[in-house]
């Protein structure tokens, strides 16, 4: 038996003339944790699809367990023990965890009837494989994300998986949950199961992988042991350029300046309490904390999505009330939401329409008809300023990459000329190149006099871009740091709760 479980040899694939993969090679050994790294559009997902048999390669060879396949079908891949855990887990939210575990299994067995005792038995055995316990009789939609992922992993194991491909598995997980996922991966590894970990989160890659394969523009650019890489090397290979990680320098203009935004004793029942802070023009203030610490709720309150129930908000020293989104927009507060897909964009609509969506009222001529010239001028200007890569603003937003989509969301709010911009997880799901660009945009805006508030748990992002950092825990601001005062490690430790021993469940209990 060879040591290599999967060998992808010189695989190429093109879609409609565009070369997605060029003679790509990938070797995964038995029981190895391999990271597949690359920016969006680097060919990662095409490669996964080819390994899963969903797409057929134009040329090249795939060897699984010594068997060579020119054309691999999904059923072959499954039979050879390849299982994919998609980003959305592909679970049935309306069915119980137990049924989710057993469903695909019974389907493969071509069962026609369902014996519920068997379902329970299959499910229990599946969970035993990874040594975790979750309530099997709860519906998956009621489970926390981490548990959903565990269900998806155990389901994969039911099919005698030899290789589990995890596509961006940590996107929706808290740090604690990432830890336990890594434990599960280590356990799988001990049992001789290989894991292909697809990600662009550098810290995680460096932590979990044994070996790393980096793709850029559909080609292998680096391959080797983890020990050969560090953050900067990874970034260099992924982006093809040296990206310096600099810190934002805030220069106060006048010491007597009134704060752009002042929040005093802001509270909302069950979400956050007694939050006070200021933002001066040109400042980028970071608010960080674990999921459930109240940071997202605070952002939503400032934008009127879930208004605060107590406390004062002052803009330029003037007391204002924010009871709904319209109030916030009127006072010049912009909001870039966490989940741009459902909150920030109208995906099927054109890029241009999305950009002007929040200023339609200002583009109206008499009779309420939109002035097309004014509109196009607007759109052109922001596409240029934000370097949005698209052949035409008439294409649907859906057609853009994550980074470009996020820029459209930014444009949508920048058209309103906001005084304060609240960015909730501005680079979630955005690749490194775009991430840096978006950070530059935010810095430029701040230098022009906007007050920016970044809400994020991406520690490097917060430290590099914010001149002041507020740490939230259990709905309160517990500490404040200056951006160049604190290291990533320190902040990470403080986020989890001082000494890091505090259980996550107590965070939950608060909300």
Partner 1 sequence: MNGIFSRNEAFVALIILGLVLIIGSINPNFFTLGTLYDLLRSSVVMGIFGVGVLMVLVSGGTDISFTAIAAFCTYVTSRYLNSIGFEGSVLVAFLISGAIGVLLGLINAILISSFKLPTLIVTLGTGNMFRGFMLAFIGTKIVTVLPPGMIRFSRTEFFPVTTLIGGTNGLSAAVFVLLAVVPVTWYILNYTMLGRGIYAIGGDRVAAERAGLNINVIQFFIYCYVGFLAGIAGIVHSSLVRTANPFDLVGTELSVIAAVVLGGARITGGHGTILGAILGVFLVIIINNSLIMMGVPSYWQSAVIGMIIILGTSITALQSKRESRVSIVDNQ
Question: Residues in the site for partner 1, rule: CB under 8 A?
Answer: 74, 86, 88-96, 99, 103-104, 106-108, 111-114, 116, 137-139, 141-145, 172, 291-292, 296, 508, 511
- Residue from 420, 377, 389, 368 nearest 261 by CA: 420
Q: What is the DSSP string of 189-207?
A: HHTT-EEEEEE--HHHHHH
- Residue from 314, 318, 252 nearest 282 by CA: 252
Query: Measured from the CB atom, is 148 or 331 closer to partner 1?
Result: 148
Q: How far is the CB of 1 from partner 1 (least distance, A)?
A: 29
Residue pair 200/37 in contact by the 8 Å Cβ criterion: yes
Q: How far is the CB of 392 from partner 1 (least distance, A)?
A: 27
At 334 the three-state DSSP class reads strand
Query: Measured from the CB atom, is 37 or 152 closer to partner 1?
Result: 152
Q: How far is the CB of 291 from partner 1 (least distance, A)?
A: 4
Q: Judging by beta carbons within 10 Å of its beta carbon (0-12, 13-18, 19+), is residue 426 exposed, middle or buried? A: buried
Q: How far is the CB of 198 from partner 1 (least distance, A)?
A: 17
Q: How far is the CB of 449 from partner 1 (least distance, A)?
A: 33
- Which element (helix H / strand E) includes 247? none
- Angle at which helix 372-385 crosses helix 402-414, to 10 degrees, equals 130
Query: Measured from the CB atom, is 89 or 197 closer to partner 1?
Result: 89
What is the CA angle 443-444-447, rounded to 5? Answer: 90
- Residue from 360, 306, 303 nearest 337 by CA: 303
How far, in Å, CA of 300 to CA of 339, rounded?
Answer: 12
Q: How far is the CB of 314 from partner 1 (least distance, A)?
A: 29
Query: Measured from the CB atom, is 325 or 511 closer to partner 1?
Result: 511
Q: How far is the CB of 180 from partner 1 (least distance, A)?
A: 15
Query: Measured from the CB atom, is 174 or 467 closer to partner 1?
Result: 174
Query: Measured from the CB atom, is 53 or 307 closer to partner 1?
Result: 53
Query: Measured from the CB atom, is 298 or 445 closer to partner 1?
Result: 298
Torsion angles phi and psi, residue 185, rounded to 5: -60, -40
Query: Measured from the CB atom, is 81 or 292 closer to partner 1?
Result: 292
β-pair type (163-167, 82-85):
parallel
3-state secondary structure string, 15-52? ECCEEEEEEEEEEEECCCEEEEECCCCCCHHHHHHHHH
Residue pair 305/325 in contact by the 8 Å Cβ criterion: yes
Q: How far is the CB of 255 from partner 1 (least distance, A)?
A: 39
Burial 197-209 (b: 16+ CB within 10 A, else e): bbbbbbbbbbebb
Q: How far is the CB of 90 from partner 1 (least distance, A)?
A: 4
Query: Measured from the CB atom, is 314 or 510 closer to partner 1?
Result: 510
């Amino acid at each position: 038996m060879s040591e290599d479980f999967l060998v992808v040899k010189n695989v190429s694939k093109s879609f409609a003339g565009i070369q997605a993969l060029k003679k790509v090679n990938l070797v995964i050994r038995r029981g190895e944790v391999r990271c597949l790294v690359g920016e969006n559009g680097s060919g990662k997902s095409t490669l996964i699809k080819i390994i899963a048999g969903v797409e057929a390669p134009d040329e090249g060879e795939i060897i699984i367990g010594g068997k060579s396949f020119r054309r691999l079908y999904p059923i072959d891949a499954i039979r050879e023990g390849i299982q994919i855990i998609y980003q959305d887990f592909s679970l049935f939210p309306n069915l119980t965890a137990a049924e989710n575990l057993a469903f695909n299994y019974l389907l493969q067995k071509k069962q026609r009837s369902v014996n519920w005792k068997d379902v329970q038995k299959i499910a229990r055995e599946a969970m035993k494989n990874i040594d975790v316990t979750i309530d099997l009789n709860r519906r998956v939609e009621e489970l926390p994300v981490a548990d959903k992922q565990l269900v998806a992993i155990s389901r994969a194991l039911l099919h005698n998986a030899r290789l589990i491909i995890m596509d961006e598995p940590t996107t929706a997980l808290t740090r604690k949950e990432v830890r336990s996922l890594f434990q599960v991966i280590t356990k799988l590894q001990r049992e001789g199961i290989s894991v292909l970990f697809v990600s662009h989160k550098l810290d995680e890659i460096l932590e979990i992988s044994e070996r790393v394969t980096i793709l850029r523009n559909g080609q292998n650019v680096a391959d080797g042991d983890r020990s050969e890489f560090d953050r900067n090397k990874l970034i260099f290979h992924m982006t093809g350029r040296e990206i310096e990680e600099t810190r934002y320098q805030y220069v106060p203009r006048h010491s007597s300046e009134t704060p752009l935004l002042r929040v005093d004793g802001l509270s909302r029942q069950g979400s956050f309490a007694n939050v006070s802070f200021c933002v001066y023009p040109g400042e980028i203030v970071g608010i960080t904390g674990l999921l459930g610490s109240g940071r997202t709720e605070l952002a939503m309150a400032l934008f009127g999505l879930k208004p605060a129930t107590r406390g004062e908000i002052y803009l330029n020293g003037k007391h204002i009330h924010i009871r709904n989104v319209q109030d916030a927009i009127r006072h010049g507060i912009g909001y870039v939401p966490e989940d741009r897909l459902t909150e920030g964009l109208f995906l099927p609509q054109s890029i241009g329409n999305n950009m002007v969506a929040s200023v339609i009222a200002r583009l109206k001529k008499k009779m309420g008809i939109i002035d097309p010239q004014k509109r196009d001028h607007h759109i052109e200007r922001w596409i240029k300023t934000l370097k949005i890569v698209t052949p035409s603003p008439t294409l649907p937003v859906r057609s853009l990459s994550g980074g470009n989509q996020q820029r459209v969301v930014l444009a949508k709010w920048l058209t309103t000329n906001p005084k304060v911009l609240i960015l909730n997880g501005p680079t979630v799901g955005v690749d490194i190149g775009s991430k840096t660009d978006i950070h530059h945009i935010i810095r430029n805006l701040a230098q022009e006099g906007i007050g920016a508030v970044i809400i994020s748990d991406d520690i490097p992002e917060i430290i590099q871009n914010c001149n002041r950092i507020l740490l939230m825990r259990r709905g309160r601001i517990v500490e404040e740091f200056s951006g160049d005062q604190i290291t990533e490690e320190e902040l990470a430790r403080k986020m989890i709760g001082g000494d890091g021993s505090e259980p996550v469940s107590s965070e939950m209990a608060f909300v």
